[in-house]
Amino acid sequence: MTVGQSRSPIRRPGELGVHSLDHFAMLTPDLEPARSFYSNFGLDVTPEGNQLAMRVAGNSHCWSRMAEGPRKKLHYVSFGAFADDIPRFRERLNQLGIEQIPAPAGFESNGLWFHDPDGLPVEIRAAEKTSPDAKAPFDTISVGANLRGAYPRQQTAAARPRRFSHMAIYARDTRRSARFYAQALGLRISDCAADIIAFCHGIHGSDHHMIAFVKSDGPGLHHSSWDMGSVDNIGLGAMQMAGAGFERGWGVGRHVLGSNYFHYVRDPWGSYAEYSADMDYVPVDATWDAGEHDAEDSFYLWCTTPPEDFARNYEIE
């Protein structure tokens, strides 16, 4: 059962669309920095053959894979769909004239593979729905008078993400990418801010965005985002990473589009892992009022000024 799951319907009748962002894969010249970073971030990182698999505590689903390669690179993105929709997706790809490709070497799959407009391999595979079926619970910590509201640091448990929330990838044309993913995968555009960023959600119930597209001169990973459930756990995660030597980042703050609280931690390769909580949610039986927003007024509601290179794509340098 996914975080926030309820008895509400999990499938929009008669419409074709992926239900989850199942996982993503990265390449890196050295797996040890990846193991150190994501283990300290609070994920369960385990070797599987010549790869690292990343999971959250208490859940067997693999949200990300890391393999060795000549340089750090976002290798592919995989979306989950209902098994009986796979033939319909194959027909849709044919109708759109999207050429199918083999699975990347070393990553076995019987899904449908193709390139997005920037050449990133994308998969649609039959998989269990992992996106939440209701808005995830959000905890606020408060106590009455004459009671302690916080534990000593030595008694505080390590910060551990509850689930993978979303990812933001770089794209040469954010609007074109959003339209492509909407046509090919059945996602819907949530909001856009000028040509700087575009957000897409799933039609079978999902957070405000399961994927976002950030303006750049080529493909790559801007950040992966992980649900924490409270602002307190976001802060604990930020402190935890700083104590492990990963001090560079941005936060704590609150976004406008998606409304989630956040803290970004810079990884060893110049992209980010985000602690997130309380994102807006689009139910399976609702239609989100997508908007066009001014970039200067829709990035963050409150926070410090972001780093100058926050949107710099180090994968194309």
- pLDDT-derived band at 2 (thresholds 50, 70, 90) equals very low
Q: Taking a C-beta distance cutoff of 8 angstroms, is the pair 210, 200 a contact?
A: yes
Mind listing the pLDDT tens digit for each residue in 238-285?
Answer: 999 999 999 999 999 999 999 999 999 999 999 999 999 999 999 999
Query: How confident is the model over 177-190, as a mean pLDDT?
Result: 98
Spell out a b/e string for 246-274, using b for 16 or more CB atoms within 10 Å of the CB, else e. Answer: beebbbbbbbebbebbbbbbbbebbbbbb
Mind listing the pLDDT tens digit for each residue in 63-103?
Answer: 999 999 999 999 999 999 999 999 999 999 999 999 999 99
Cis preceding linkage at 143, omega within 30: no
* β-bridge partners, 65: 25, 53
- Give the CA-trace dihedral at 291, 180, 167, 283, to 10 degrees: 50
Q: How far apart are CA 255 and CA 300, in angstroms?
A: 4
Across the chain, what does the average pLDDT equal?
93
Identify the structural domains of the chain with CATH numbers, from first to last.
20-132+161-316 (3.10.180.10)
Query: How confident is the model over 197-218, as a mean pLDDT?
Result: 97
Phi–psi pair at 98, nearest 5 degrees: -90, 115
Mind listing the pLDDT tens digit for each residue in 25-38?
Answer: 999 999 999 999 99
